[in-house]
Amino acid sequence: MAQGLHSKVMNLARHPLQPTINGVLGVTEAWRDPLGLMLASTGEGVFGVDLDGLCVFINPAGARMIGLEPEQVLGQNMHVLTHHSHGDGAHYPMDDCPIYNAFRQGQPCRIDSEVFWRADGRSFPVEYSSYPVFDQGQVRGAVVTFVDITERKQAEHALHQAKNQLEQRVAERTQALETALQQLRELAAWSEAVREEERTRIAREVHDELGSLLVALKMDVGWLDKRLSEQAQRAAEEAQSMREKMRGKCQNMSRLIENAVVNVGRIITDLRPSILDHQGLWDALAWQAQEFVQSAEQELKWCMDVNVQRVLPEPLAMAVFRIFQEMLSNVGRHARARTLDVDIVEREGWLHLSVEDDGCGAEARVFESAQAYGIMGMRERARHFGGVIDIDSQPRRGTRMRLSLPMPHHPETP
């Protein structure tokens, strides 16, 4: 734009409009100074300097931008007047000024990274172009066009800030995703380790408990078989004694069988409580709480206000039961509590299950630790069904864990 304006200025200066002899152009008096009209009408600042850098003309827009009147600028050294310093206030030597290089070296330039200074001492960013003026092959000065680009710089700054903020947010989200992925990997590894440990425990119990019971039963059955085969060969006086021994063996076998049945039931209950299938979630929660306080020798405060006829879908019921088990497990492992307060209510379509103890408590960061896999597991189970886990705990003031879960709109019928 500045180059085109300069060309027009130079052409009009060299070839001003003149009326022809036959009057075809018909130029009126108002059009006899086309260069002045152009300079006055443009919104860009335009000024010319001679070889000494003194202003030979300036349009009203240019004078207005530097805070002066045109007649105050004429004859002034333009570098000293408006281009004397860099944006940071450092001195700008005239020999380094691209405007003056335009006529000293005969090369045009276009700059948008500098500032001009107003008469009141304020600076403003500009985009300016400087072009040498030739007359009969000799450089006579330069024409400079300039515009105030404050709004553009502000827009660029705002865009730069927005870009930086976006990059920061992307980096934060990426870091958060990487952290979450790492936590999920650790949780998956922990879950696999827990499953493997559970399998090992079950295998050990089956081997140690059921295995030993069955071996003992096998030995007693073998003894009975041997003695029965020998009974026909024994004298009558020994028959009574043998019957007493066999009775003792049978009673011992009965006890072993009873122990085996109890152990099988306990192992099955650990894997999946049958009460959950036979009597439903609500009775299973009550049973689990009673079992826990009996083994932990704690006092139980139980409150349940739900529609016990309501049957939850099996995956949801299992999730609630496992979360409740994990809450109790945390109390048993860490709380050292005397009293356990369990509150289960249904309100406005949500199930709220809270477990509160009067134990030692802990700081909030403990429950947010990347190694708190039990808490992470509870939260993942709850999140899968649209629920949340809230934990309120303070050192020496106990802990309160609360599950809030949306209830299904169409409950199953018993």
Which domains, and CATH codes, for the chain? 2-148 (3.30.450.20), 155-267 (no CATH), 274-406 (3.30.565.10)
Structure confidence at residue 14 (pLDDT): 41
Return the H-helix or E-strand segment holding 357: strand 350-357
Return the H-helix or E-strand segment holding 140: strand 138-148
Burial letters for 299-327: b for 16+ Cβ neighbours within 10 Å, e otherwise?
A: eeeeeeebeeebbbeeebbbbbbebbbbb
Structure confidence at residue 133 (pLDDT): 87
Question: What mean pLDDT, rounded, does the chain reach?
Answer: 80
Structure confidence at residue 21 (pLDDT): 37
Structure confidence at residue 232 (pLDDT): 52
Q: Which residues pair with 49 in a beta bridge?
A: 55, 142
Spatial strand order in the sheet of 138-148? 55-58, 45-50, 138-148, 123-135, 109-117
Structure confidence at residue 192 (pLDDT): 60
233-269, pLDDT tens digit by residue? 555 556 667 667 776 777 777 777 777 777 777 776 6
| Dist CA 6 CA 131 (whole Å) | 8
Give me the residues of the chain with pLDDT under 70, please: 1-36, 189, 192-193, 196, 199-200, 203, 206-207, 211, 225, 228-240, 242-243, 247, 268-274, 410-414
Q: Which residues pair with 389 in a beta bridge?
A: 403
Q: Tokens 């105050």 belong to which residue? A: 72
Return the H-helix or E-strand segment holding 113: strand 109-117
Burial class from Cβ neighbours inside 10 Å (0-12, 13-18, 19+) for residue 284 reads: buried
Crossing angle, helix 314-330 and helix 373-384, to 10 degrees?
160
Structure confidence at residue 199 (pLDDT): 64
Structure confidence at residue 239 (pLDDT): 65
Task: Residue 296: name the closest of 331, 320, 342 by CA.
Answer: 331
86-113, pLDDT tens digit by residue? 989 999 998 888 888 777 777 788 998 9
